[in-house]
Amino acid sequence: MPKPTDRSGNLPAEATSFVGRRHELSEARKKLTAARLVSLVGPGGVGKTRLAVRVATDLRRGFGDGAFLVELAELADPALVGHAVMAALGLRDQAATEPVALLRSYLKDKQLLLVVDNCEHLLDAAARLVTDVIKAAPGVRVIATSREPLSVAGEHVLPVPPLQLPSPRADESLAQLRQNEAVTLFVERAAAASGSFELTAGNQAAVVDVCRRLDGLPLAIELAAVRTRALSPEQIRDRLSGRFDLLTSGSRAALPRHQTLRTTIEWSYDLLAPAERTLLARLGVFAGRFTLDDVEAVCCGDDPPAARALDLLSSLLDKSLVTREDAAGTACYRLHETMREYARHKLREVGEEEVVEERCADYYLARCRQFAAEGRFRLLDWLAWAELEIDNVRAVLHSCADRNDSRRGVDLATCLIWYWVTRATTEGVRWLDELLARDAEPVAHAWAYFVRGFLAVLQNDPAAALPALDRAVVAARSAGQSDVLAQSLAMASVAANVAGDRGSAGRLLDQARVAADGLGDLGTTLMLHQAPALNGLLDGDLDTVRSAAGEGARLSREAGDLYSLDMMLMNQGFAALLSGDLPEAEQRFTEALRIAHQLDDRVAQCHLLGALGCCAAASRESRLAAQLLGAMESLRGEAGARINAGMAPALTHATTSVTAALGPATFGSEFTAGQQLSRDAAVRLALRELPPPAAAAPGRSSVGILGQRETDVARLVADGLSNKQIGARLFISERTVESHVRNILNKLGFTSRAQVAAWMATPDR
């Protein structure tokens, strides 16, 4: 996912299906110049999402840090709204910081546009988060879509009506009809479905009638238009008319728009073959994206058989009842939220809801158990699977919590250990705490308490880690599980050391070694190397670090355990750095950073950028060191990471020495330049895949001295715009522009706007 500073954000490619909406587009743009929050409000199927994405696509160049789409349709849990925003921004829930606090900190100086889509079922949570963001981040604007307003201070509501309808008098020319929004969408979709559809004098009356019958609702028009592959517009009109006349006894005024959409979906559903109907209803069990494998496992059996799943799914796709998108090179599918609601209704109506939900829960539990068994040795593959499926897994966890099925819920949450460790630490903590608190038999969950303690150690929270690990030890002894007993004792040793209790740390590690004696379990063996390596760094025992981490790295490499290898290499690197062996330290850190980047482990990348910054400082590459330290600080803010206690002295020394070598002003400029690097660019710089920063020529700025927003402002200054004009162009206040101009003059050492313009025109600046 792109980092915000690439200015593109995560908006989807502009949809070819967007039609018209000239008035709404204009109104939304106007409102965004005057308001921090604009809510696009209207019933389902009216095209709010498309309008919001189009507005954001048109305006994102005015936001230096990009525009981002936050999709809430697939979330059932209000507590996950903050996680959804973090995911959209490319941030990582990998530390102890709560998502809302991390968002406030990260967004406070950003200039970006958030599109928060489908808020209606999470209205209170979405409203709280949007309010927090707007208060904390004056440069952020929000477009929300919902069936009703968020009802927060400063909200500007823009009702989204259906598409413009053609005249009922059928007196418009073909040229005029082709400009009508509803007709244009029908023709576009019909042509895509049939390959040859055109609006003609012969079919124009039927097309007009269909669009008017469907109240200009985009989703309803699409569902009707795709039927032109088998039906003429006249046949579509006649069949729809019969359906609506029966429903309303001939009075169109009796039919609200949500009923129009539901009736159109019902009409489209009734035209399906029996097997297609069965499959569509069962697809409603998925909360998010799903793959063909998921469909075969959850929705198929004797009728329909798994062998027919692809053909049936393709048929539903052709009829616009299912949409396709690709994720990480995998073809996956989803239902529009209105279609999902309808599918669940049909599933309930035929009495299959409970059976299919149970099958879905069993399927995801089995897959997550496989993840737990294989994940550490095939981590890249399994993380890709988890990222694609996480909304479905969350839905199963939510269902387990609602039904007090704590046993299955705890099992599922425990099996996701490597996802929580590398992607969603605070979320994992929340699920485990909630589910374990509901279970009456804690002794049955030794591994769950171990995972809870492990996550707390990663969060640098020994106060939470030690009680959880104590419970893991008690449960493991009770169940005779020597592997989890040994690993829990070893992890408790680390937690005790972080808490400053070195005596307990040593005793716990000795007990772990006794429990592991003769086991021959690789996970336990690796833990018994990782614990003394970490403790050695905290205690300053570098010989122990070298020995334990060296053997741990060898075993991890042989087993293909990338996460453990990354940690062991990092420990080896710190031992070498603190011993003064710079070539060894840089070699270990470089390999570790390649792995961390491959795994997209943000906390590890943060620490390793800082570590390689320390290496650069010791090698007297002061500008490189300053930029890497700045990049570390930026990524630390993104991930909510805390400075590793073992590396804190080295970072302090590096910062002091580089500041002395460059001088405070130059150090500050280079540090800021490092902060403004994208994550990928920072990693490439640390790996020496980019040229190191050169010294600035006399009177010139160093590379990257201006931030992205400052560069935008400087460019408009060079174009001769006033502060007021710049503010209007970039959707920021005049006072903010004044602040940016003042910073630009200070950074460049200039006293006038004319000097800024001349500097911007210099080719080699």
pLDDT confidence of residue 38: 93
Q: Mean pLDDT over all residues of the chain?
A: 88
d(CA 755, CA 575): 50
Q: How confident is the model at residue 5 (pLDDT cuts 50, 70, 90)?
A: very low
DSSP 248-265: HTT-GGG--HHHHHHHHH
Pick the more confident residue, 61 or 334.
334
Contact between residue 221 and residue 211 where contact means Cβ atoms under 8 Å apart: yes
d(CA 540, CA 271): 73
What is the residue extent of each domain of the chain?
A: 4-159, 174-270, 274-351, 600-686, 708-760
Q: Which fold has domain 708-760?
A: Arc Repressor Mutant, subunit A (1.10.10)
Q: How confident is the model at residue 157 (pLDDT cuts 50, 70, 90)?
A: very high
d(CA 262, CA 266): 6
Q: How confident is the model at residue 92 (pLDDT cuts 50, 70, 90)?
A: confident
- Condensed to tens digits (0 to 9), the pLDDT of residues 172-220 reads 888 889 889 899 999 999 998 888 899 999 999 999 999 998 988 899 9
DSSP 486-553: HHHHHHHHHHHHHTT-HHHHHHHHHHHHHHHTT---HHHHHHHHHHHHHHHHHHT-HHHHHHHHHHHH
The helix (H) or strand (E) run that includes residue 603 is: helix 602-618
If phi > 0 it is left, if psi is from -120 to 50 it is alpha, else beta; for residue 749 that is left
Whether the per-residue pLDDT at 2 is higher than 70: the answer is: no
DSSP 314-336: HHHHHTTSSEEEEETTEEEEE--
Whether the per-residue pLDDT at 618 is higher than 90: the answer is: yes
Contact between residue 134 and residue 140 where contact means Cβ atoms under 8 Å apart: yes
Contact between residue 126 and residue 145 where contact means Cβ atoms under 8 Å apart: no
Enumerate residues 6+ apart whose C-beta is below 8 A from 245.
Answer: none
d(CA 80, CA 393): 13
Pick the more confident residue, 764 or 60.
60
- Condensed to tens digits (0 to 9), the pLDDT of residues 738-751 reads 888 888 887 776 77
- Condensed to tens digits (0 to 9), the pLDDT of residues 697-733 reads 444 443 456 777 888 888 888 878 888 888 777 777 7
How far is residue 230 CA from its own chain's centroid?
Answer: 40
Mean pLDDT value of segment 411-426:
95
Contact between residue 76 and residue 285 where contact means Cβ atoms under 8 Å apart: no
Query: Strands 112-117, 140-146: parallel, antiparallel or unpaired by DSSP?
Result: parallel
Enumerate residues 6+ apart whose C-beta is below 8 A from 425.
Answer: 93, 94, 95, 96, 455, 458, 459
Whether the per-residue pLDDT at 153 is higher than 80: the answer is: yes
Helices 425-438 and 379-402: crossing angle, nearest 10°? 40
pLDDT confidence of residue 723: 87
> In this structure, which amino acid lies at residue 42?
G
Query: Strands 330-334, 323-327: parallel, antiparallel or unpaired by DSSP?
Result: antiparallel
Half-sphere exposure of 626 (CA within 13 A, CB side): 28
Exposed e or buried b per residue across 75-90, where buried means at least 16 C-beta atoms within 10 angstroms of its C-beta: bbbbebbbbbbbbbbb
Superfamily the domain 4-159 falls into:
P-loop containing nucleotide triphosphate hydrolases (3.40.50.300)
How far is residue 318 CA from its own chain's centroid?
Answer: 29
> In this structure, which amino acid lies at residue 369?
R
Per the structure block, which two tokens stand in for 601?
């482990």
The DSSP code for 563 is H
Contact between residue 325 and residue 332 where contact means Cβ atoms under 8 Å apart: yes
d(CA 615, CA 588): 11
d(CA 648, CA 762): 41
d(CA 586, CA 570): 10
Contact between residue 376 and residue 418 where contact means Cβ atoms under 8 Å apart: yes
pLDDT confidence of residue 737: 86
- Please tell me whether residue 67 adopts helix, strand or coil conformation: strand
Whether the per-residue pLDDT at 151 is higher than 60: the answer is: yes
- Condensed to tens digits (0 to 9), the pLDDT of residues 679-695 reads 899 999 999 988 888 76
Phi, psi of 97 (to 5 degrees): -70, 130
Enumerate residues 6+ apart whose C-beta is below 8 A from 289.
Answer: 74, 325, 327, 332, 333, 334, 388, 389, 391, 392
Whether the per-residue pLDDT at 627 is higher than 80: the answer is: yes
Whether the per-residue pLDDT at 170 is higher than 70: the answer is: no
pLDDT confidence of residue 257: 67
Return the residue matching tokens 């040795």: 377
Q: In what order do the strands lie in the sheet with 155-159?
A: 67-71, 112-117, 140-146, 37-41, 155-159
Contact between residue 324 and residue 291 where contact means Cβ atoms under 8 Å apart: no
Return the residue matching tokens 């080699």: 764
Mean pLDDT value of segment 401-421:
94
Per the structure block, which two tokens stand in for 568?
């062991």
- Please tell me whether residue 155 adopts helix, strand or coil conformation: strand
Mean pLDDT value of segment 624-645:
88
CA distances in angstroms from 49 to 39, 45, 61, 112, 490, listed in the order given: 11, 9, 19, 18, 50
- Condensed to tens digits (0 to 9), the pLDDT of residues 270-290 reads 999 999 999 999 999 999 999
- Condensed to tens digits (0 to 9), the pLDDT of residues 18-35 reads 666 777 888 888 888 778
CA distances in angstroms from 512 to 281, 544, 658, listed in the order given: 52, 17, 42
d(CA 218, CA 273): 24
Enumerate residues 6+ apart whose C-beta is below 8 A from 343.
Answer: 280, 281, 282, 283, 284, 335
Return the residue matching tokens 């880690």: 465
Q: How confident is the model at residue 255 (pLDDT cuts 50, 70, 90)?
A: low
Is 4-159's fold the same as 708-760's?
no
Task: Please state, for a pLDDT cut of 70, what percent of the chain lies above it.
Answer: 93
Please state the pTM of the whole predicted model.
0.84
- Condensed to tens digits (0 to 9), the pLDDT of residues 534-563 reads 999 989 999 999 999 999 999 999 999 999
Helices 379-402 and 353-374: crossing angle, nearest 10°? 140
- Condensed to tens digits (0 to 9), the pLDDT of residues 445-500 reads 999 999 999 999 999 899 999 999 999 999 999 999 999 999 999 999 999 999 99
Architecture of the structural domain at 274-351? Orthogonal Bundle (1.10)
Contact between residue 304 and residue 278 where contact means Cβ atoms under 8 Å apart: yes
